[in-house]
């Protein structure tokens, strides 16, 4: 393995999918963000089935404008952090274009030592446009956990998840810690098959819930345990959704409000951040934020 003495970060956007106070013993009220119409509620409830099974043409058209498709909240940009130009990478334009075409890449940026060495756009995307994150959002949500711990709003990642999401008591999440949710080692059974319309990742937000009820815990509490907590890793978008619920309950803020304070403005984003919400009006922790290519690079 070669050890690099300088920091390098690369960010690519493609058409393929997927690339406090202490909580009380009753479920805290979810902060209302807006009144959704029945049509918006239905789009939110069926978002997984819609987005995961879009054609490439639909993805190319919609991934740049998710706010036109689904309700959500916005974190406002502040003073931009400058990204200065560096020496161009020793790669020909033809090679870069061939790669982007083959991979359906909408944006590609490489930063080394704080300087931009490569920046290219495709599929009609521009530098001022946003593109959806899919699971890159998980890194934003887990970063906000760290901020909430530092702020003393989450006591410890060793706390049981039921301390913050008491609706999960009596389910497979009994005895599971916040850390085990963060590392996806809860031992709870899960299917993340994006091609299967009956998989958990497709169905997780589609459950019918009462107004204001958390659809994440409503679905997750129905899942059986298949291993002891901490002994088996399985990739689970639903568990990062639960992390988003924990952060929002612990801070009393939407993820966009807390991200604006802890990520967007400190990192010097040049554009606003849009984040989709679920049927309870909570930002979806496991996916679905949209920012500019350069702001993904700033986060990196």
How buried is 138 (Cβ within 10 angstroms: 0-12 exposed, 13-18 middle, 19+ buried)? buried
Q: Chain-centre distance of CA 64, in angstroms?
A: 16
Q: What pTM was estimated for this model as a whole?
A: 0.87
- Strands of the sheet containing 8-14, edge to edge, are 8-14, 105-112, 115-121, 84-85
pLDDT, mean of residues 36-56: 76
Q: CA-to-CA distance for 81 and 18, rounded, in angstroms?
A: 28
| Share above pLDDT 70 across residues of the chain, in percent, rounded to a whole number | 87
pLDDT beyond 50 at 3: no
Closest by Cα among 22, 7, 15 to 54 = 15
Query: Can you name the residues that pair with 188 across neighbouring β-strands?
Result: 225
pLDDT > 90 in the chain, percent: 71
Complete domains list, the chain, with CATH: 21-81+129-299 (3.40.710.10)
d(CA 210, CA 82): 46
Q: How confident is the model at residue 15 (pLDDT cuts 50, 70, 90)?
A: low
Nearest-angstrom CA–CA distance, 277 and 166:
21
Report the pLDDT value the prediction gives residue 11, as an integer from 0 to 100: 52
pLDDT at 31 over 60: no
For range 263-281, the mean pLDDT: 95
CA atoms within 13 A on the CB side of 136: 21
- Summarised one tens digit per residue, pLDDT across range 52-72 is 888 889 999 999 999 998 899
Q: Which residue has the tokens 């009393």?
A: 252
- What is the reported pLDDT for 204? 87
Q: What is the pLDDT of residue 14?
A: 66
């Amino acid at each position: 393995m070669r050890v690099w003495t300088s920091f390098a970060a690369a960010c690519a956007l493609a058409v393929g999918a997927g690339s406090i106070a202490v909580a009380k013993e009753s479920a805290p009220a979810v902060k209302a963000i807006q009144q959704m119409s029945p049509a918006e509620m239905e789009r939110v409830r069926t978002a997984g089935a819609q987005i995961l099974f879009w054609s490439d043409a639909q993805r190319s058209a919609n991934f740049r404008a998710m706010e036109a498709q689904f309700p959500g909240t916005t974190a406002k940009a502040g003073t931009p952090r400058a990204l200065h130009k560096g020496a161009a990478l020793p790669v020909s334009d033809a090679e870069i274009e061939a790669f982007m075409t083959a991979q359906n890449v909408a944006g590609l940026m490489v930063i080394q030592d704080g300087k931009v060495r490569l920046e290219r756009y495709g599929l009609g995307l521009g530098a001022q446009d946003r593109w959806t994150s899919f699971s890159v959002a998980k890194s934003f949500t887990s970063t906000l956990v760290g901020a909430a711990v530092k702020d003393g709003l989450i006591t410890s990642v060793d706390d049981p998840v039921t301390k913050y999401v008491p609706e999960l008591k009596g389910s497979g999440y009994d005895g599971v810690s916040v850390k085990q949710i963060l590392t996806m080692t809860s031992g709870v059974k899960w299917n993340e098959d994006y091609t299967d319309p009956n998989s958990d990742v497709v169905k997780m937000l589609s459950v019918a819930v009462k107004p204001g009820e958390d659809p994440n815990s409503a679905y997750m509490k129905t899942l059986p345990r298949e291993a002891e907590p901490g002994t088996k890793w399985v990739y689970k978008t639903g568990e990062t959704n639960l992390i988003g619920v924990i952060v929002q309950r612990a801070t009393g803020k939407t993820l966009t409000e807390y991200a604006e304070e802890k990520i967007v403005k400190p990192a010097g984003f040049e554009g606003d951040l849009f984040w989709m919400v679920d049927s309870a009006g909570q930002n979806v922790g496991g996916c679905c934020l949209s920012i500019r290519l350069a702001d993904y690079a700033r986060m990196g």
